[in-house]
Structures are given as C-alpha cells and as structure tokens.
Amino acid sequence: MKLRISLRRLARAEFLDAADWYERRRTGRGRDFMDAVRQVFAELVVQPDLYPEVHNDIREAPVPGFPDAVYYRVLSCQITAIAVFHTARDPANWQERS
C-alpha cells in the first residue's frame, strides 16, 4: 500500500527556508535541494521502513547531495515529516517535536 506524505507546519517551513538559503548561495541550488527532498519523499511512500529509527519511532532519511535529512514517522495511513533538518544542528530541536 502506497502511503501519502504529510509535513508538519515546522517541517514545511524548514524545507522552504532551506531551499531559499541554498538558492541565495547559488542559483539553482535551491531547486536542486527541493528536488532531492522530493526524491526522498517518493522513496518513502513506496518503502516507508527503508531508513532506520533514530529517536523513539522517528526515522532519518538523508537528503542526497546535501547535509540535511528528513525526520519522519510512519503511521498506519500516512508518513508524517517531523523535520527537514540540517544534520549539523542540534537534534534536540526536532526531537522535542515528537
């Protein structure tokens, strides 16, 4: 069964803010970031258990080509993205959202 992706409000804001940040650094890089995150989402809806649990029942999916990851929870009918987060930041920031 193919699940759908739901982004929490903060995860959506992080995703868009990171894309803007990358775009300001180099034209086209923000679009590359968005495409890479969408690629992760496409993998998750087909194979939600692909990545390991890193905190309670939250899994970490690395974003290819970027030092970011999607932190998500698999529920019975959907995948909920908790954070789209730079991996060098303090993980306590997204962990407290769970």
- The pLDDT score that the predictor gives to residue 13 is 95
Stretch 68-93: mean pLDDT: 90
Confidence band of 93 (pLDDT split at 50, 70, 90): confident
pTM: 0.91
pLDDT digits (tens, 9 = 90+) for 57-79: 999 999 999 999 999 999 888 99
Whether the Cβ atoms of residue 14 and residue 84 lie closer than 8 Å to each other = yes
Mean pLDDT of the chain: 92
- Domains of the chain plus CATH, in order, are 4-95 (3.30.2310.20)
**What's the Cα-to-Cα distance from 29 to each of 2, 18, 51, 55, rounded to whole Å?**
30, 10, 25, 30
